[in-house]
Amino acid sequence: MSKNPIIRLENATKTHTLGSEEVHALDGINFTMEQGSFWAIMGPSGSGKSTTLNILGCLDHLTSGKYFLKEEDISQLNDDELSEIRLSHLGFIFQSFNLIPQLTVQENIELPLYYLNWQPNAYAKRARDLADLVGLADRLNHRPNELSGGQRQRVAIARSLANDPYIILADEPTGNLDSANGEQILQLIIDLNKNGKTIAMVTHDPDIAAHASHQLHIRDGKIDRIECRESKGE
């Protein structure tokens, strides 16, 4: 595995004010994710795992500390600059799929590239190639309500790959699926990692987390422990 750091958090803190009380959603955490690694982010409800994913995904700001993405300190960027990083360099897979119901499979996959000002011929080909990659080449003209849950999540995975992201951030990606579809989606994510994609995935399921090369356990906004192991498929 490459030893190039893709993400580094230094003394990362996120504080919310509730009335007169300050709540530390993240309380000075430090870790480095290497390119090509697969991280499972775990912890009880309210531990800070979703906050961690939101910070990594540039969906929220740190209160203090530093966030390095590809060795660039992005901690002080404004909302517009963070939005540009999300669009250009990050991929997202959500538990609820977050597809646009009025758009076809092809149009949902194309959408990030439209906003990146790709030419129509180029983003159409990219969408077709990615639909083929996730096994949906015959569903390009279908809309989300014509697909199963597993197929919708495949569309979401294809969309997350459209911009060739530095890292894919997944929030309970199998949470709304039955066990058979969940296993297929997990295998697809494992295969993406084997092919070099960096993955950060929030999960509560230790069986799913066991496939990751690293398990980041968070409790009360602090890192409880980091477990490192070889990925099961390797």
Spatial contact of 199 and 220, defined as CB atoms under 8 Å apart: no
Residue pLDDT, tens place only, 177-194: 999 999 999 999 999 999
d(CA 39, CA 5): 13
- Say what the pTM is: 0.92
Q: What is the band of 22 on the pLDDT scale with cuts at 50, 70, 90? A: confident
Altogether, the residues listed in the chain come to a count of 234
Residue 129: Cβ-neighbour burial (10 angstroms; 0-12, 13-18, 19+): middle
What mean pLDDT is predicted for residues 158-184?
Answer: 95
Residue pLDDT, tens place only, 64-121: 999 999 999 999 999 999 999 999 999 999 999 999 999 999 999 999 999 999 999 9
Domain made up of 5-228: CATH architecture: 3-Layer(aba) Sandwich (3.40)
Q: What is the pLDDT of residue 230?
A: 59
Q: Residues 4, 32, 190, CA angle at the centre, nearest 5°?
A: 75
Instruction: For residue 38, give every residue at least 6 positions away whose Cβ sits within 8 Å of its Cβ, in sequence order, or none.
Output: 190, 193, 198, 199, 201, 211, 212, 213, 214, 231
Q: What is the pLDDT of residue 215?
A: 97
What mean pLDDT is predicted for residues 182-207?
Answer: 96
d(CA 25, CA 13): 7
What mean pLDDT is predicted for residues 189-212?
Answer: 96
Q: What is the pLDDT of residue 1?
A: 42
d(CA 10, CA 75): 10
